[in-house]
Amino acid sequence: MPAKIIHKHKLATRWMHWINFPALTIMIWSGMLIYWANDVYEIKIGGYTIIKFFPDWFYKFFHIPYKLAEGMGFHFAFMWLFMINGLFYIIYTFASGEWKYLLPDKKSFKESWLVVLHDLGIRKQAPEQLKYNAAQRIAYSAIIIMGIGSVITGFAIYKPVQVSWLTAICGGYEAARAEHFILTVGYVLFFLIHVIQVIKAGWNNFRAMIAGFEIIKEKENHN
């Protein structure tokens, strides 16, 4: 019985994807330890606090309080892993031509709504796609820009004297800190949707991120 092999993710892509996972996890965790020491952000509507970043139960659950020094130490050590891996990913994506599958094109923005409607079960047919669908192209390109944004806002608060021009671009020290935080919230939301989508997409899709290819058994048509 013949089968179809679809080569999907390159070896380098897979390695960088899986290195990024623990690297970003450690950056978010250590970032939380830092944020705790001055946890001033909240979402308010009409004077009422809707979400406080973060409630006490949350801090307790993740063992966050009183670890500012540990947070800074790990943040400024693992930033290298995150940055270098990210830099290699960007270079590789452009040098290998993978960007053609990744970057959104003209129709991506229009089509991405159809993908969302399809994923929510409202629309039956999904738009045609190559490696990534329109929504994926936008999301995976956005996450790269967010990564660059984290590095920029990160340096703006890490070295505000030496790269004062960068801090100024970010709107100042306090603004840069808030932006750095918002980007992190963005990663977490991305991660949640990403995991749900991967579970929905099934085993073959997951295998492609580890082995590089999907195996599709062809149903024999004798009629």
Write out the residues near another protein by the rule CB under 8 A.
1-8, 18, 22, 34-35, 37-38, 40, 68-70, 72-74, 76-77, 80, 101, 130-131, 158-162, 164, 173-174, 177, 207, 210-213, 215, 218
> With respect to another protein, which residue has the nearer C-beta, 68 or 143?
68
Q: How far is the CB of 80 from another protein (least distance, A)?
A: 8
Pairwise CA distance, residues 158 & 161, whole Å: 9
> With respect to another protein, which residue has the nearer C-beta, 42 or 145?
42
Q: And the tokens for 110?
A: 């229009």
Instruction: Return all residues near 220 (Cβ < 8 A) that are at least 6 apart.
Output: 1
Half-sphere exposure of 6 (CA within 13 A, CB side): 14
Pairwise CA distance, residues 208 & 211, whole Å: 5
State the CB neighbour count (10 A cutoff) for residue 43.
Answer: 10
> With respect to another protein, which residue has the nearer C-beta, 77 or 145?
77
Contact by Cβ (8 Å): 175, 149? no
Q: How far is the CB of 161 from another protein (least distance, A)?
A: 4
Q: How far is the CB of 14 from another protein (least distance, A)?
A: 8
> With respect to another protein, which residue has the nearer C-beta, 95 or 145?
95
Give CB contacts under 8 A, 24+ apart, made by 220-223: 220/1
Q: How far is the CB of 42 from another protein (least distance, A)?
A: 15
Q: What pairing do the DSSP bridges indicate for beta strands 48-52 and 42-45?
A: antiparallel
> With respect to another protein, which residue has the nearer C-beta, 124 or 217?
217
Q: How far is the CB of 111 from another protein (least distance, A)?
A: 18
> With respect to another protein, which residue has the nearer C-beta, 139 or 208?
208
State the CB neighbour count (10 A cutoff) for residue 145.
Answer: 10
Q: How far is the CB of 88 from another protein (least distance, A)?
A: 17
Could you please report the per-residue DSSP string of 202-213? -HHHHHHHHTSE
